[in-house]
Chains A and B, each alone.
Chain A
Amino acid sequence: MSTTIEPTPTPERHAMGKSMKRKEDPRFIRGHGRYLDDFTLPGMLWMSLVHSPYPHARIVKIDKTAALAVPGVVAVLTGEDLAAHNLAWIPTFHGYDKQMVLAVGKVLYQYQEVAGVIASSREIAQDAAELVDVEYEPLDPVVNPFQSRDDKIILRDDRENKTNHIYHWEVGKREETDAAIAASDVSIKERIVFQRCHPAPLEPCGILADMNPATGRLTLYLTSQAPHAHRTVVSLVTGIPEDKIHVISPDLGGGFGNKVPVYPGYVVSAAASVVLGVPVKWIETRTENLTTTGFARDYHMDVEIGASKDGRVTALKVATVADHGAFDAAADPTKYPAGLFGIVTGSYDFPTAFTELDAYFTNKAPGGVAYRCSFRVTEASFAIERGMELLARKLNMDPSELRLLNFVKKEQFPYPSPLGFVYDSGDYHMTLRKALDMIGYEDLRKEQAEKRERGELMGIGISTFTEAVGAGPSKHFDIMGIKMFDSAEIRVHPTGSAILRAGTKSQGQGHETTWAQIAAEELGLDPQNIMVEEGDTDTAPYGLGTYASRSTPVAGAAIAMASRKIREKARKIAAHLLEAAVDDVEWTNYKFQVKGQPDHALTMQEIAFAAYTNPAPDSEPGLEATYYYDPPNLTFPYGAYIAVVDVDRETGAVKVRRFLAIDDCGTVINPMVVEGQIHGGLTEGFAIAFMQEIVYDESGNNLNTNFTEYLVPTSLETPHWETSSTCTPSPHHPIGAKGVGESPNVGSPAAFVNAVMDALAPLGVQHIDMPLTREKVWHACRQAATA
């Protein structure tokens, strides 16, 4: 159903907008979190995977003999074994492709799963996996999408179409855009690459599969950001009825999109448990996580912007080549093969725009939409924010002025973008001006000018991004056909405490606190006494899970709406208790009172007790409600970020001296939780900008297989973050919230890169692709010096 609700008009909030400490933290900081690897069951076996050293090879023979001879080894499974149960391949999440569980016939990327060894201990399983003798016939690998494009080597001979081209996607007006750019006074064009990186959650993926032969029920303890979606996929793939599958996603040590897909390790463990009738556990190694699970990005974007000579943008064109790896496993909504990349016009009022994308298979690991990216919004934001910076330089215009000149104006909302979105709300001018004031922009520019006189390299980088999150409205958004609503179920207990269950799954976002705050706000209850439970498919209402900044826009709305259903029932009980007509009872100051009579008022706690002890004659006892929320539109959080850097031209070292993030995520539920999200996302954005890349060499070797090669920033590298906010509530969301989890990762890389490029501008450096390692920056400085 479509819903239009006014935000709750409350002058002084009861529970929301307050920096309540996170309810989940005491157990985390005391070591009492319960993560997947903490689960052990009697008679449990362990599974370990055999991986291909080759990126592309035919499998000639797999000899299990030596592995099976190891005492403690129970079984060795190969793709052929799974094929006998129709489990060698599984569909990818958006349903257009399939992926191998264990390789059959060919391996398509290095570290691809080839066999699974099940044994009595983890160590025996790992040792025996070394003894599985696989004979390969190596084939030439394709590790670059531009090489893949020529179709000289066809990677996927299982597909009907013998091409490496996966799909072409486009939106906007091609001819109009081309003509507008050609007719522009000024234009820029740049190849901007968003490198392949990896979310690398500190807790890797894992499963404990427990088939109970007596009940016929399969319990899957799973590192899952989307437990219900995983239950449905398991049912569809195996044919096991969904009521016989119980998914429990316990505490998660980070996810960032990495724990959305279904991985071979899950399927092999579950299959082994079903066949053997005992629990089977698999916990990924760090190398397995980095080399086989959902990577992020690998977009090669040609960005063109046209503008008048006074700086008004006339058109935007972005043509992208996407490297999807061996399978098209990017878990995008079905109708959005390139995710929400159409947000690429960003915060700017382009009269026309066009974007197209071609995706290709390569001999690299599959994935593509992980790492806090809101379905490709990160790539799009990076492209437009770099593009605007290049345009400002071409126009010899201050980048803040260019942005202020071209922002969508406050009065234009709801704003229909040329690529098909309708932005809900925003005041981009206000937010950027606040950022410029807070950072002391004019003084910084003066300081920069002085430093340039002395030959010092200082840069200021701006990123004023707009996101599209909260997928999504059922008419447009589904995953494998399941509409992307979300849900909440709230039961108020007789003494006024409550349990709240949602279809989402926190991986560190703090739902146990913020969900309680929403319900407490709507019901006038104490958030400390609202227990939040997620991740158990037997108890939680069906929902599509937590990723793409969708939890607050969708499930957060469901919580508010379920609370309002409870409030409506409570009003009837209040009327009964106050001996007044229902219409004469109003919700004021978090109490029900007879209109105009504040001393004739009842708290929700009193009403809850009555719901069980003295229910109204014409109503059901009890006080609970469930709501499935189908959002009418996406939400469009935005921000203005400014980075200030100093670059040492002798060493290439970049020092991020200041970083200010002003976020507008609409109504804030808990400022401290939002700030925590911003800090985490900025730190990841910093890592992407300066440190992280998954590199494949020309032979298809993955060169970043552990944390000595793939860097995660520590407190030593991480800059100090300055944060603030503005608030333009979403007009269509029940509490006006927009979501914020991914904003800092979406918005910050461009601010960092723009700052470094601004620092290097006196040397004539236009663009360097991320990560901006010391080596790359040093080379750029050296080249400029020798030119």
Chain B
Amino acid sequence: MNLEYSGKESIPASKDAVWAFITDPANIASCMPDVTDSTVIDPRTFDAVVGVAVGPVRGKFKFHVVLDPQPGGDRLNLKISGGGFGSVVDLTAGADISAETDGSTTLDWKGSASMRGPVATVGGRVIDAQAKRVISTTFANVKSRLSPATVAEPA
């Protein structure tokens, strides 16, 4: 089964700050929900173990994430592949990044996921809600990490 998602997110930080943040695998891994373990392989790649509970499908999925920042600093492509207990999930996403006049940054993103195996069976009913939760949590975490209060505080 194939699922398509898209949206626009406004981040209260400068484009440069957003770009620097989202092109760092360690940051992305830390913003994804339910990550129990992550390993940064190189500056563009990381592996993550994610706890998944979709209907009767419960357990750990292993994902390989590749960030592909496009020259110019206006677009980030992302590829996630992996799965677990007989299921396979492939996700490709891209975000156009633009600076707003108020100093914030907009991410205009679009992603498509394909699923196979038991996870696809429950997909129609449950995956959609789960996927939306993952996406919204990830962006919420990104926003929270980049909000002026957080950035201003010493590490």
**Interface of A toward B, CB cutoff 8 Å:** 51, 53-55, 110-111, 130, 136, 287, 697-706, 708-709
Contacts and interface: CB of A to CB of B under 8 A. Distances in A.
B115 A701 contact: yes
Contacts of A55: 116
B121 A53 contact: no
B117 A53 contact: yes
Contacts of B87: 53
Contact of B118 (A136, A699, A700, A705): A705
A698 to B, nearest CB: 8
Given A130-B85, A706-B56, 15 more contacts: A53-B87, A54-B116, A130-B84, A287-B118, A697-B1, A698-B2, A699-B114, A699-B116, A699-B120, A701-B116, A701-B117, A701-B120, A701-B121, A702-B121, A708-B56
B94 interface: no
Nearest to A136: B88
Interface in B1-39: 1-2
Interface in B98-150: 114-118, 120-121, 123-124
23 contacts: A51-B86, A53-B83, A53-B86, A53-B116, A54-B88, A110-B116, A130-B84, A130-B86, A287-B118, A699-B1, A699-B114, A699-B116, A700-B116, A701-B1, A701-B117, A701-B121, A701-B123, A703-B120, A703-B124, A704-B121, A706-B56, A708-B56, A709-B121
A708 B55 CA distance: 11
Contacts of A706: 56, 121
Contacts of A287: 118
A132 B133 CA distance: 31
Given A53-B86, A53-B87, A54-B116, A699 B2 contact: yes
A128 to B, nearest CB: 12
Interface string B79-93: 000011111100000
Contacts of A54: 88, 116
Contacts of B83: 53
Contacts of B1: 697, 699, 701
Contact of A705 (B2, B88, B121): B121
Contacts of B123: 701
A140 B115 CA distance: 14
A530 to B, nearest CB: 47
B126 to A, nearest CB: 11
Contact of A703 (B56, B85, B121): B121
Nearest to A703: B121
Contact of A697 (B86, B118, B120): B120
B146 to A, nearest CB: 36
- Greatest chain B CB density within 10 A among A53, A54, A708 is at A53
B78 to A, nearest CB: 19
Contacts of B2: 698-699
B88 A53 contact: yes
A110 B119 CA distance: 13
A201 B121 CA distance: 21
Contacts of A110: 116-117
Contacts of A708: 56
Contacts of A698: 2
Contacts of A697: 1, 120
A377 to B, nearest CB: 31
A197 B3 CA distance: 26
Nearest to A126: B85
B36 to A, nearest CB: 16
Nearest to B118: A705
Interface string B32-62: 0000000000000000000000001000000
Contacts of B88: 53-54, 136
Contacts of B124: 703
Contacts of A703: 120-121, 124
A699 B117 CA distance: 11
A47 B45 CA distance: 37
Nearest to B59: A130
A575 to B, nearest CB: 70
Question: Which 9 A/B pairs are nearest by Cβ-Cβ distance?
Answer: A53-B117, A701-B120, A53-B88, A53-B116, A705-B121, A697-B1, A130-B85, A703-B121, A53-B86
A656 to B, nearest CB: 27
Contacts of A704: 121
